Amino acid sequence: MNPYENAETMSRGLSINMPGLMKDVYAWMAIALLITGFTAYHVSESPFLLSLLFTSKLSMWGLIIATVALVWHLSSAVSRMSLRAVTTVFLVYSILNGLTLASVFIVYTTTSIASVFFVTAGTFAVMSVYGTMTKADLSRMGNLCLMGLFGLILATIVNFFFENSFFELLISYAGILIFTGLTAYDTQQIRRIAETHDTGATDAGQKIAIMGALSLYLDFINLFLYLLRIAGDRR
């Protein structure tokens, strides 16, 4: 999924300012990651919030549905929303993701979370630089990764009922490959938008930056989670 595609249609004709847009994309992504990490850690330290969120299947599923609904709404309605509304939804989504990811601090040791985070950051940085610098067209690879993503979702749903540990391991490795490829592909897509659009003092440009940040944020979070399943040390 490329949630910034709808934003691209809003601002045809804006002037070229690739460094400015890319800088804004990474800035918004960093803000979202900080909010998610801060929320997840502090929720994991609160027995009351943990019991509220994770003792009831209803509350957990409600949280998952809310995060999916927010991404869908933001991706489909960004062109009709104000910059303030887009920013608010993006930040709220970061908080909700932090609530769901609080369980990570319960299941895995803090040391392994930190080490996997740095591995994820390094992998993400390499693939993002590659997506920015390469002259090769990554569209075919991106389409394959997107098709693989649908298969990954289906396999995850099936394994939810069968709970096969070997199958889960295969899913994790597939997830790492898919989101590593998507990082490069999404970065190249954002770069192409950046070559023809300017974020300077325009609401439309900032919306593009936020949607690009959302795309890379999702790549980073998913890559981190799949790496953690393989390399993380459980408590």
Render pLDDT for 65-106 as a digit per residue (tens, 0 to 9). Answer: 888 888 888 988 888 999 999 999 999 999 999 999 999 999
Per-residue pLDDT of 142-151, as tens digits, reads: 999 999 999 9
What does the pLDDT average to over 181-208? 83
- Residue 108's SS3 state is strand
Q: Which two tokens stand for residue 108?
A: 């895995």
Percent of the chain at pLDDT > 70 equals: 90
Q: How confident is the model at residue 15 (pLDDT cuts 50, 70, 90)?
A: very low
User: Quick one: pLDDT band at residue 193, thresholds 50, 70, 90?
Assistant: confident
92 Cβ neighbours under 8 A, 6+ residues apart: 70
Q: What is the mean pLDDT of residues 27-39?
A: 96
pLDDT of residue 16: 44
Spatial neighbors of 40 by CB under 8 A, at least 6 apart, are: 98, 99, 101, 102, 104, 105
Q: What is the mean pLDDT of residues 160-178?
A: 91
pLDDT of 155 higher than 50: yes
Structure token digits, residue 88:
């608010």
- Is the Cβ–Cβ distance between 208 and 192 less than 8 Å? no
Q: Which of 64-68, 214-218, 220-224 has the lowest mean pLDDT?
A: 64-68
| Averaged confidence pLDDT in the chain | 87
Closest alpha carbon to 3 in 99, 86, 121, 82: 86
Band of the pLDDT at 13, cuts 50, 70, 90? very low
